[in-house]
Structure 1
Amino acid sequence: YDYVAVHDGADISAPLLAKLCGNTIPSPLRSQGSALTVRFVTDSSITETGFTFVYTTTDQQSVQRSNNGYCQLPCDPNRWYINMDCVWTITAPVGHFVELQFTSFDVEDGGDSCSYDYVAVYDGADTSAPLVGKFCGSGIPAPLHSHSNVLTVRWVTDSSVTDAGWTAAYL
């Protein structure tokens, strides 16, 4: 059967917060630290429409930064992350900057142009902002910095090779 597992940490070895399935919207989940991992597991039996999620992050002491994002995952019974186009916008308070640090990176290598799967980072509120970098392959990109208080991350995948994906943290 299909399910969504939410782990309280940077990878699937972190403690399991919830294992979700069906069509009931769960109560909000909260991490104990600075990372959550969302893993979608599917089999080849029944195909449904998938799921969407929204997330918000806050500083432990006060609301210093917030991050609102979305990602709608298609529900392919063989490979769950094909043909994705996900966008996350990271927003810091005015006068602050965003630093994005990749902690793992394994995305289909499409050569210098990253013509298959890629992660693109933009210095602004959407994908029309200046491109900071476009990344693919297995090398972890160097930390990236915004010139304003907003950074946008876009993850695009095609329908062929499915590698492990990537994780990142922001400061």
Structure 2
Amino acid sequence: MSPDSKLHGKFCGTDVPDVITSVFNNIRIEFKSDNTVSKKGFKAHFFSDKDECSKNNGGCQHDCINTVGSYVCQCRHGFILHGNKHDCKEAECEHKVHSPSGTVSSPNWPDKYPSRKECTWAITSTPGHRVKLLFSDFEIEQHQECAYDHLEAFDGDSDSAAILGRLCGSQTPDPLVSTGNKMYLRFISDASVQRKGFQATLHRNGGTKLACM
């Protein structure tokens, strides 16, 4: 066994190990016993498994994931798998988020967002808690009044609620916090400049409940 060989596992007991797949086209198995207790031992079947992703990415437009005896295609964020199971198409951009925590990001992040896009996120957290939006990455076309590409946040369940902020540029914004358990986000891109976009995490506001009135 060469010193750079990968050890897939060292097994004993009665639990059946998971399927073992070699990295290359060979595998070495070693069995050792001492001079005390003897048991039934083991029996295993081996077979060759083709790596369908190694040639032409398996025909997948985005990511090819090799599995035992087959493979599957996966799409990057902002896209969904086409009916042909290989190509990717843009996902619908209206999101409803019902969770005390999670992640939101612009379409195709961390790659450039597409042009002429409008996406919304209607976020609802646990009753009695606020929604806190904390940005980890932010890069949207710069404009003094954010008149071109921009992200808007509203303090409620639609764009008719009070606005919390209209954001653009490359400076990471301060966290946004709603007054209730709902926040509405709207991202708009125009036909010209595209940037990396944004990613942010959602939190309940420190788990602190709102005071009862």
TM bin (shorter chain): 0.5 to 0.7
Matches within 5 A, 1:62-73: 65=100
2:104 aligned with 1:95, yes or no?
Answer: no
TM-score under structure 1 length normalisation: 0.61
| CA 1:80–1:138: 2 relative to 1, 3 Å | closer
What is the rounded CA distance, in whole Å, between the counterparts of 2:132 and 2:160 in structure 1? 19
**Of 53, 68, 74, which aligns to 1:19?**
74
Runs (4+) off by over 6 Å: none
Opposite residue 121 of structure 2, the aligned amino acid is W
| Separation (CA, whole Å) in 2 of partners of 1:149 and 1:126 | 13
Percent of residue pairs bearing the same amino acid type? 27
Letter in 2 for 1:19: Q
Pairing 1:107–2:140 present: yes
Aligned to 1:97, the other structure's residue is in SS state: strand
Tell me by how many angstroms 1:162 deviates.
0.6
Q: 1:50 aligns with which of 87, 90, 102?
A: 90
Match of 1:8 in 2: none
Structure 2 gaps of 5+ residues are: 1-58, 64-71, 76-80, 204-213
Matches within 5 A, 1:1-171: 3=61, 19-20=74-75, 21-23=81-83, 50-52=90-92, 58=99, 65=100, 81-111=114-144, 113-171=145-203
Letter paired with 2:158: D
**Could you tell me how far 1:125 is from its partner in structure 2?**
0.3
RMSD: 3.5
| Residue 19 of structure 1: how far off its partner (Å) | 1.6
Cα displacement (A) at 1:151 = 0.6
Give the whole-Å Cα distance in 2 for the aligned partners of 1:124 and 1:134: 15
The C-alpha deviation readout for 1:108-167, integer Å capped at 9, x for no partner, is 0021x1011000000000111100000000000000100000011110000100111110
8 Å contact from structure 1 (residues 99, 145) kept in 2:
yes
- For normalisation by structure 2, the TM-score amounts to 0.50
Q: How many residues align?
A: 125
The runs of 5 or more residues in structure 1 that have no matched partner are: 6-16, 26-40, 43-48, 59-64, 74-78
Conserved? CA contact 1:66–1:90, under 8 Å: no
State how far apart, in whole Å, the 2-side matches of 1:126 and 1:55 are: 11
Native 8 Å contact 2:96 2:123 kept in 1:
no
Greater C-alpha radius of gyration: 2
Residues 95, 57 of structure 1: alpha-carbon distance in 2 compared, 3 angstrom cutoff: closer
Query: Distance in 2 between the 1:24 and 1:52 partners?
Result: 18
